[in-house]
Amino acid sequence: MLSIVFHKRRRLVRRLFFNHEQVRTMSRVKRRTTHPPYWHVLKNNQRQDEKISSDNLRFVREVIQDKYKNKSPIKGSDLDIEKKEWDPKTKRSGVIARNIGVQHMWEKDGKKVVCTVLHVLDNHVIRYVPPEEYAKSIIGAKVFRNRKPLGCLVVGAEAANPDRFTRQYCSLFNEVGLLPKKRLARFIVTPNAVLPPCTPLTAGHFVVGQAVDVYGKTIDYGFQGVVKRWGFKGGPASHGATKFHRRGGTIGTGRDKARVWPGQKMPGHMGSERRFCRGLKIVRINMKYNVIYVKGTVPGPTNSIVQIFDTLLPRRKFTEAPPHPTYFPPEDGTLPQEDIWDSNMHVFGSPSIPV
C-alpha cells in the first residue's frame, strides 16, 4: 500500500524572526586593506636617503626636465577624436578631484544650502583598454560577468616628481610622455566616449545642474566602540550601573545554535570604506580655478581624493547631450564664462533677496 505523505505547505518567502539570519547574509569579504592589490606595480620609491652629491642631483633634475619637456596645452583639434554621437546610453569618463571643504550658499528664495567644494586636479587620460581586453582582466571579468563588456579609461591626476616613484610605476606613463601622476583611477566608458591618451579633463567636463555620483573613502575613525560604530544605546550613566556604560551587552542566546553568530556587531575598525554618494546636484562651476560646487556632502575627510562620474540614477540622467566626449576650451584661450551658477542659486554679487 502506498503511504501518502502530506507535506507541510512552505512559505515561499521566509520571514526573518531573528536578526541573526539577516546578519548571516552580510558579506564576509575583507573590506579594508592597507596594501594595494597584488597586480599593482610597486609605486613609491623605497630608497629614501640616497646620498648623492649636489652635482649629480642637478644632473638628475636636468635629465627629468629633458625627458618630460614642457608640452604646450593640448587643444581639441590636435587630438584625433572621431566625432561620435551621444546617445542616452553613453557612459562618459569621470574625473578625479579633491574635496577641499564645505561652503554655504543660498538659493534664490533665501534657503541655505550646504555645498561641497571639489577641486578638479590636473587630470590626463593615460590609456584606453578596449572592452574585449578589459573583460579578460580580473576586475573586468567580475564586473561584466553577465553583461555586455564596456571599455575602461585609465585617468591620472596630480603630477609629481618622478624621483619619489619606482621605475616600474613611471613606466606606466612612458607611452604618454607625461610626468607620473600621484593618483590613478579607472572609469568604465562606452566605446563611443573614448578619449585618446594625453587628453586633459577639466571642470568643464560637467554641466551646471546635472547630477553626479561621487565615490570616496569615508573618514577613518579607527578602532571604535559599539556605541559609535553601530549606534548601540549602551547602559545607564548612573543608578548604580557598574562598569556598564558603553558596552554591547548580550551577544547571543544560550539555546539557539549555542555560539556567537558570524556578523555579530562588536567593536572594531570603523570608517575608511568605499562609498558612493548618488545623485548630487552641481550648483556652480568655476572654470578659472577648475572647481565644482556640489549640493550636499561627499564621503571622505577634507583634502581627500574623490572620483566624480555622471549619475546612474535613472531619473536624474542626462536628457540632452553633455560635452561629449569631454569639454575642450576655445582655441583662442578666452574663457566663455568664468563662473557658471545654477539658475536656482543666489549669486553673491547680485542684490539682496527682497522677499
Partner 1 sequence: MLRRAVLQTFRQGLAQSFFKRNAVSLSETTVTHQPIETSNEADEKSVSKQKPGDESGNTVVVAPPEFRFMYPEFLPDPAMERRNRLKEKLERIDMLQRRSVVEIPEFYTGSVMAVTVADANSPNKFARFVGICIQRGGSGLRAWFILRNVVDKQGVEILYEMYCPLIQKIEVLRLERRLDESLLYLRDALPEYSTFPLDMEPERRLNNSVVPINPLKVKLRPRPWLERWERQNLQGVEDLNLPQRFYDKAEKVAKPWEKYDLMLQYRKTIPAEEQEKIFADVHSQLQQQEFKRKIRRQHSALNDSHMVRVGRDANPNQTRISGSIVPSCMLSSAGDMTFRLETYHY
Indicate the Cα dihedral angle 158, 159, 161, 166, nearest 10°.
90
Q: Which residues of 38-60 are buried (b: 16+ CB within 10 A; e: fewer)?
A: eeeeebeeeeeeeeeeeeeeeee
List 22, 171, 264, 303, residue binding partner 1 (CB under 8 A): 303
By CB under 8 A, the residues from 36 to 95 that bind partner 1 are none
Q: How many residues bind partner 1 (CB under 8 A)?
A: 26
- Does residue number 281 form part of the binding site for partner 1 (CB under 8 A)? no
Tell me if 104 contacts partner 1 by CB under 8 A.
Answer: yes
Instruction: Indicate which single residue of 36, 110, 177, 249 sits in contact with partner 1 (rule: CB under 8 A).
Output: 110
Name residues whose C-beta falls within 8 Å of residue 7's C-beta, 6 or more positions apart in sequence: none
206 or 293, CB closer to partner 1? 293
| 134, 150, 270 from 141: Cα distances, Å | 8, 11, 30
CA-wise closest residue to 298 among 116, 121, 120, 157: 116
Nearest to 118 by CA among 330, 332, 294, 259: 294
Site string for partner 1, 309-328 (x = CB under 8 A): --------------------
| 127 counts as binding partner 1 under rule CB under 8 A | no
- The whole-angstrom separation of Cα 240 and Cα 302 is 42
Contact between 111 and partner 1 by CB under 8 A: the answer reads yes
| The binder of partner 1 chosen from 22, 44, 56, 103 (CB under 8 A) | 103
Choose, by CB under 8 A, the member of 231, 254, 333, 349 that binds partner 1.
349
Q: Does 354 engage in binding with partner 1 (CB under 8 A)?
A: yes
348 touches partner 1 (CB under 8 A): yes
**Look-up: residue for cell 539555546?**
255
Cβ nearer to partner 1, comparing 37 with 351: 351
Q: Where do contacts with partner 1 occur on this chain (CB under 8 A)?
A: 100-101, 103-106, 110-112, 117, 119, 286, 289, 291, 301-303, 346, 348-355
